[in-house]
Amino acid sequence: MKVILLCAGYATRLYPLTKNQPKSLLPLAGGQPILEWILDCLKPISQIEEVYIVTNHRFAGNFETWKKTAKYPWPIKVVDDKTTTNENRLGAIGDLSYVLETQKIGACDLMVVAGDNLFDFDLMEFYRKGQANRPHAAIAVYDVKDKTLAKQYGLARLNDKNQVLEFLEKPENPPTTLASCGIYWLPAETRVLLDRFLAQGNNADQPGHYMKWLAQSDKLFAISLQGNWFDIGDLTSYEKAKEFSSRFRKPSMKK
């Protein structure tokens, strides 16, 4: 299995903090970057063979500098998507496709993780449950338990077998409080579906567009994760993330 971390956004809502450094390298409590928190959560998964960090041209050098001192149990490669502004960005699904094409990655199991999340989920559990759903894709969901808060997220409405019946992007009247938290399981069998999605000219920006298409065109399952999740989107949420990060315990640190 390969892991792709989506870190190519320009995080304009976090200016001036992200004018000269990517959101994923912003420090949390104790100075640890958000990126390292995510990578530590991936450590328990022995099936990982390689990790790709896809970023833009503006911040590729920042990640290369960080990588020089990073020590992890698998090779990490920084992939520059060559974009330079928020206006010409490829989008999350565009970046996913870019990594697969430029790195010559054939049909293989993928775990795709947004690079701006703070969580202490058990990703090994997510991996195991994702395997059980193959040949279909799966998303991680988290119950935010508040319909007003749910308006800010992509939401998944499920049946009693955890199949996604409907994927909604920031709905005004949420039918559910299960939020997609930027963690995706894409087994090898779905590679042809990604190619088909893009060939049809669908929106390659937000992952929710592809998840909605998968739910309608194939099958998509949701895996509800327990623990803490914090979406870092603006200065206020970043400050809250720093405040709370000292209280979170990553799976690799649990006894």
Task: Determine the 3-state secondary structure of 129 from DSSP.
Answer: helix
* pTM across the whole model: 0.92
CA-based angle 92:12:55, to the nearest 5?
Answer: 40
Q: Amino acid identity, residue 238?
A: Y
Give the CATH number, domain containing residue 27.
Answer: 3.90.550.10
> What tokens appear for 38 in the block?
């995510």
- pLDDT tens per residue, the chain (255 residues)? 999 999 999 888 889 888 899 999 999 988 889 999 999 999 999 999 999 999 999 999 999 999 999 999 999 999 999 999 888 889 999 999 999 999 999 889 999 999 988 888 899 999 999 999 999 999 999 999 999 999 999 999 999 999 999 999 889 999 999 999 999 999 999 999 999 999 999 998 889 899 999 999 999 999 999 888 888 888 888 888 888 887 765 544 443
Q: Report if residue 91 sits inside a domain.
A: yes
Query: How many domains is the chain partitioned into structurally?
Result: 1
Query: Could you tell me where the DSSP H helices lie in 89-223?
Result: 92-102, 123-132, 147-150, 191-199, 207-217
Range of the domain at 65: 1-120+233-249
Q: Cα separation of 15 and 214, whole Å?
A: 34
Torsion of CA 228, 233, 238, 240, to 10 degrees: -50
Q: Report if residue 2 sits inside a domain.
A: yes
DSSP state of 153: S
